[in-house]
Amino acid sequence: MQSTTANFYSPTGQLLSKQANQNDPYYMVITSETLEFFSSKDDRSLGRSTLKREGSLLRLEAPLKSPTIAELTDHQLTLRYEKMSTYLSGDYVTGEDVYVR
């Protein structure tokens, strides 16, 4: 993974803050039907999701959040998460993960 960004918004859609995160090293294996994450430290599976095609859009059906594939090239995959978390205040979080090879 190259980068992870979380964007925090107010209930009216005003950007409150951005946060870039560094994750433990991991890699993913993509097939025509699944996407699976593995730990770079010990190769154990960190989770698997099903890929579903909706017209020209590929949707990742994840257990807790469903990102959209925003960009897919030979060398980069960008997953975009819309309203990953919503708080009682109405604030919410969106996110984006960028993977390169």
Are 31 and 47 contacting, i.e. CB atoms less than 8 angstroms apart? no
When pLDDT is averaged across residues 40-68 and rounded to a whole number, the result is 77
Are 26 and 47 contacting, i.e. CB atoms less than 8 angstroms apart? no
Read off the pLDDT of residues 57-66 as tens digits, 9 standing for 90 and up.
667 776 556 6
- What is the band of 53 on the pLDDT scale with cuts at 50, 70, 90? confident
The pLDDT score that the predictor gives to residue 24 is 67
pTM, whole model, 2 decimals?
0.65
99's torsion region: left (phi>0), alpha (psi -120 to 50) or beta?
A: beta
Indicate the residue type of 16: L
Q: Where are the beta strands (DSSP E) in 10-73?
A: 15-21, 26-30, 34-39, 45-54, 57-61, 68-72
